[in-house]
């Protein structure tokens, strides 16, 4: 049976239980909470981010202990294979009703899916339009969210220092970089020049129509090894830029180097500066 996953993108977390799967593996733990259920520890989960709207098919339903797991085979917005596992604890008072809030039967353009998306956008608008943006007309708030929902790169919303950003998760690089031949700075510069910034240019084009947002945030994971026998680890790269920088990059008005110099760059949560000439 085909379903559309309407739960927030932000709550689909990396899931080690499906490590043998070749594609992206994500999941969510659903437990009972006051007034309903909590998803990955978030009780007010409907306003946690834009709905994923992933099309999926039910692959398997299993029962282990007091948890029922529903495995879904899906395709990510970037076209890669995904395995999504929803684990329902027995403490969920109404598992069928909760599942009906997390996904709907049929494709993303069915009336049920579109209705669910509108309801999700209303919940997200109440949660993320804060500060000066709180005074925007409701119709404009919903229009901003609809623009982001359909934009390239499947962006979400993200609050950073009290400001609202369009947030893009580019996933993980398929390569594993060798730290014996290149240090972190060279690896970051190489990946930014060749992979991340070309994607940022394309994604930022859609942001010109939502100038109310403070800017854009991009997350990318870069696997690396310190030695051939060491297990691969990820650099968690996070790039945060204001809206004018993002739109100028999309229009070719600033160079990659100027864009990076004006942006905030974090690796594993720590600020870094990157010289884009380091990879040459």
Please state the three-class secondary structure of the chain as a single string: CEEEECCEHHHCEECHHHCCCCCEEEEEEEEEECCEEEECCECCHHHCCCECCEEEEEEEEEEECCEEEEEEEEECCCCCEEEEEEEEECCCCCHHHHHHHHEEECCCCCHHHHHHHHHHHHHHHHHHCCHHHHHCCHHHHHHHHHHHHHCCCCCEEEEECCEEEEEEEEEECCCCEECCCCCHHHHHHHHHHHHHHHHHHHHHHHHHHCCCCCEEEEEEEEEEECCCCCCCEEEEEEEEEEHHHHHHHHCCCCCHHHHHHHCEEEECCEECCCCHHHHC
The pLDDT of residue 230: 87
The pLDDT of residue 80: 74
The pLDDT of residue 278: 60
The pLDDT of residue 99: 92
Share the mean pLDDT of the chain.
Answer: 91
The pLDDT of residue 280: 47
Segments of the chain scoring below 70 in pLDDT: 16-22, 78, 278-280
């Amino acid at each position: 049976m085909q379903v559309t996953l309407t739960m927030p993108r932000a709550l689909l977390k990396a899931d080690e239980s499906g490590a043998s799967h070749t594609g992206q593996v994500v999941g969510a733990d659903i437990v009972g909470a006051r007034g309903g259920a909590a998803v990955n520890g978030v009780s007010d989960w409907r306003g946690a981010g834009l709905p994923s709207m992933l099309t999926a098919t039910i692959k398997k339903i299993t029962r282990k202990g007091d948890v029922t797991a529903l495995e879904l085979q899906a395709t990510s917005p970037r076209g890669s294979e995904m395995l999504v596992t929803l684990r329902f604890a027995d403490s969920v008072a109404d598992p069928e009703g909760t599942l009906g809030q997390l996904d709907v039967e049929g494709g993303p353009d069915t009336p049920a899916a579109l209705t669910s998306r509108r309801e999700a956008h209303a919940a997200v608008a109440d949660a993320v339009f804060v500060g000066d943006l709180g005074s925007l007309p409701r119709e404009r708030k919903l229009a901003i969210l609809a623009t982001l929902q359909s934009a390239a790169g499947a962006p979400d919303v993200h609050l950073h220092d009290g400001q609202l950003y369009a947030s893009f998760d580019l996933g993980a690089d398929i390569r594993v970089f060798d730290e014996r031949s290149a240090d972190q700075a060279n690896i970051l510069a190489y990946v930014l020049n060749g992979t991340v910034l070309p994607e940022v240019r394309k994604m930022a084009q859609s942001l010109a129509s939502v100038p109310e947002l403070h800017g854009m945030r991009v997350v990318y994971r870069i696997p690396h090894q310190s030695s051939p026998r060491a297990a691969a680890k990820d650099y968690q790269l996070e790039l945060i830029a204001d809206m004018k920088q993002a739109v100028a990059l999309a229009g070719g008005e600033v160079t990659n180097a100027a864009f990076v110099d004006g942006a905030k760059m974090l690796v594993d949560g720590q600020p870094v500066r990157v010289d884009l000439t380091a990879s040459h």
